[in-house]
Structure formats: C-alpha cells, structure tokens
C-alpha cells in the first residue's frame, strides 16, 4: 500500500460493502492479525454505514471520502461525509439498560470497541471520523524487524 | 457470501438455519421478513440457528433484537442456537448475550420451550 490512499465513493449501500472490502484487504496486506483485520473492517463498515445513511442520507450528489494512511505506528483511516453533521450529545449509550433492546445506535460504540482511537469531528459541512489502530508487535501491521 | 435462510419444524418448534452475513441491506431484510412471516402463520416458537453466520454488523444485531422483541410481544419465544465466536463476542460486548436465550444444543433448545 502507498503511504496514503483515498477513495471518493457514492452514497449507496454498495459503498458500505466496498469500504469494508478495502479495509479488509489493506489491513491484511499490512500484516495485522486475523482478529484485528476483522475489527478494522467492521469499524470501517460501521463508519461507512453512518456516512451513507445518517450523514449523506443516500443523497446522490453527496460523496463519502475514505482514506487509509500508514504511519510507522498506526493505520489511520478517515471517513468523511458531506451531511449536516451529527450531534454527539444526542447519541445514547447503547449499554444503558433502557437502550439495550433498541434496534439501532450501536455503530459508534462498536467502532470504539474495535479501534484504539476514534475521533469524531462533526461540522455543518459533514462529519469526519478518524479510526486508528496501533501496530502491535511482530504479528501486527507488518512492523519492520518482525521475527 | 450473502444471507441464506432455511426453515424446518422440529416438535412444534421452527428452526431457522441461517448462513452467511446478517448485515445492513439484504441480510437484515431477509431475517426480518422470515420472522414476520413465521409469526403471521402462528409459528411462535422460533430458534435462530446462527451456526453458519460468519459476519454480523450493528444492523444485524439490531435485527436479532427486533426478532426477539417482536416474537415476545406476540406471545412467542425466540432462542439463539450455535453462536459462532464472532457473534458470541459481539453479543457479549453489546451486553445482549444475557438478554437472549442462547443454546448450544438443538435438542435442548427445542425442549426448552414452555
């Protein structure tokens, strides 16, 4: 993988599958362990779902920008939509007893569970989600000098 | 791999054998339609066999919750059978594992209905 790769994707369900497949391929190429690849691909899928459904609301003129950056320590994934921006204070805790049986609202929680760092920056011109997975030891991230 | 569902009857209980992915889109819709059809036809003892489900996202989790609550609200009962490690772990971290009635033996699941 180049140091950074970026994709501009339509606001469709295909984009969700496409983003997940790209994440799986890139994380695998970088040497992450199988369970980490799964976590990364799932976090990206959830981020893409939020961008397509809640951010861009399937609008054909709005795009999803998906970028992967490899640094010596991390895989940094950025997902940006062109929606109105989410209100983070309105996102309920899916683990609260009163929310356990809700049928939605677990996407950001899953991203936070699977990635080392999750930064969400809403603005009036869209929301940017940054997902970071640290490279762990010889079995993860194709770290140089691995045994 | 897309979602596949097959239903069969065992001692008055409907077993739904699921395979593939329960994700936003086709997989979630198939699950919803199948459970809805079963309930409409009076099949209120349902086991979702997830032994061949290799992937589930937050929409799929939501669909399992929906199937569970819809069945319960209609006086029925829904159990989960043969969770793969991935699905098991997801239900654990979302604190749903103890909400569902989870079984790892089909005969025990069938016998467990009231």
Q: Is A136 on the interface with B (CB under 8 A)?
A: no
Sheet strands side by side (includes B45-56):
B4-10, B13-22, B45-56, B77-81, B101-103
Q: In this structure, are strands A126-134 and A117-123 parallel, antiparallel, or unpaired?
A: antiparallel
Q: How much is the average pLDDT of A91-116?
A: 96
Contacts of B43 (CB under 8 A, 6+ apart): B14, B76
Would you say residue A63 lies in a domain?
yes
| CB-based contact B99 A13, cutoff 8 Å | no
Q: Between the CA of residue A78 and those of A6, A47, A67, A115, what are the distances in Å?
A: 9, 9, 5, 12
Would you say residue A146 lies in a domain?
no
User: Which residues of chain B are within 8 Å of residue A51 when distances are taken between CB atoms?
Assistant: none
Tokens 């209120």 -> residue = B44
Of B58, B66, B86, the CB nearest to A106: B58
Q: How confident is the model at residue A141 (pLDDT cuts 50, 70, 90)?
A: very low
**pLDDT in the model for residue A146:** 34
| CB-based contact B57 A102, cutoff 8 Å | no
Q: Is A84 on the interface with B (CB under 8 A)?
A: no
Which domains does chain B possess?
Answer: 4-111 (3.30.750.24)
Q: Is B85 on the interface with A (CB under 8 A)?
A: no
| CB-based contact A102 B65, cutoff 8 Å | yes
**Which of A147, A114, A143 has the alpha carbon at shortest distance from A131?**
A114
- What is Dmax (Cα atoms) for chain A? 49
**pLDDT in the model for residue A87:** 87
**pLDDT in the model for residue B28:** 86
- In angstroms, the separation between the Cα of residue A130 and the nearest Cα of chain B is 19
Tokens 């939020």 -> residue = A50
Mean of pLDDT over chain A? 91
Q: How much is the average pLDDT of A27-53?
A: 96
Q: Between the CA of residue B7 and those of A13, A60, A127, B13, B46, what are the distances in Å?
A: 27, 38, 42, 10, 10
**pLDDT in the model for residue A137:** 56
Residues of chain B with pLDDT under 70: 1
Instruction: Please tell me the total count of domains within chain A.
Output: 1
| CB-based contact B61 A102, cutoff 8 Å | no
Would you say residue A109 lies in a domain?
yes
Would you say residue A71 lies in a domain?
yes
The CATH number of whichever domain residue A103 belongs to comes to: 3.30.565.10
CA distance B10 to A135: 49
CA distance B86 to A42: 11
Q: How confident is the model at residue A2 (pLDDT cuts 50, 70, 90)?
A: low
| CB-based contact A45 B57, cutoff 8 Å | yes
**Which of B47, B48, B51 has the alpha carbon at shortest distance from B20?**
B51
Would you say residue A47 lies in a domain?
yes
B residues 13..72 contacting A (CB < 8 A): 23-25, 57-59, 61-63, 65-66, 68-69
Task: Classify residue A57 by its DSSP letter.
Answer: T
Would you say residue A143 lies in a domain?
no
**pLDDT in the model for residue A9:** 97
Would you say residue A19 lies in a domain?
yes
Range of the domain at A11: 4-134
**Which of A61, A117, A116, A118 has the alpha carbon at shortest distance from A91?**
A118
**ipTM metric:** 0.90
Nearest C-alpha in A relative to B96 = A100
Of B25, B57, B95, the CB nearest to A95: B95
Higher pLDDT, B67 or A140: B67
**pLDDT in the model for residue A25:** 97
**pLDDT in the model for residue A145:** 36
Sheet strands side by side (includes A126-134):
A4-10, A63-70, A74-80, A126-134, A117-123
Would you say residue A103 lies in a domain?
yes
């Amino acid at each position: 993988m180049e140091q950074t790769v970026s994709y501009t994707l339509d606001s469709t369900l295909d984009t969700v599958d496409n983003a997940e497949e790209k994440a799986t391929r890139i994380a695998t190429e970088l040497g992450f362990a199988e369970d980490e690849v799964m976590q990364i691909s799932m976090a990206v899928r959830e981020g893409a779902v939020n961008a397509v459904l809640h951010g861009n609301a399937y609008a054909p003129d709005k795009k999803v920008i998906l970028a992967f950056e490899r640094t010596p320590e991390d895989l940094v994934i950025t997902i940006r939509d062109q929606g109105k921006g989410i209100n983070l204070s309105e996102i309920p805790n899916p683990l609260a007893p009163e929310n356990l049986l809700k049928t939605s609202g677990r996407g950001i929680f899953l991203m936070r569970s699977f990635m080392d760092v999750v930064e969400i920056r809403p603005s009036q011109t869209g929301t940017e989600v940054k997902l970071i997975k640290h490279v762990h030891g010889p079995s993860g991230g194709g770290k140089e000098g691995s045994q | 791999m897309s979602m596949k569902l097959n239903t069969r009857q065992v001692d008055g209980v409907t077993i739904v054998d699921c395979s593939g992915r329960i994700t936003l889109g086709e997989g979630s819709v198939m699950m919803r339609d199948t459970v809805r059809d079963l309930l409409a036809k009076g099949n209120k003892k349902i086991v979702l066999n997830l032994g061949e489900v290799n992937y589930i996202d937050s929409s799929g989790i939501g669909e399992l919750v929906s199937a569970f609550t819809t069945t319960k609200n209609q006086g029925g009962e829904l159990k989960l059978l043969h969770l793969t490690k991935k699905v098991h772990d997801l239900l654990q971290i979302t604190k749903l594992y103890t909400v569902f009635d989870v079984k790892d033996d089909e005969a025990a699941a069938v016998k467990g209905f009231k």
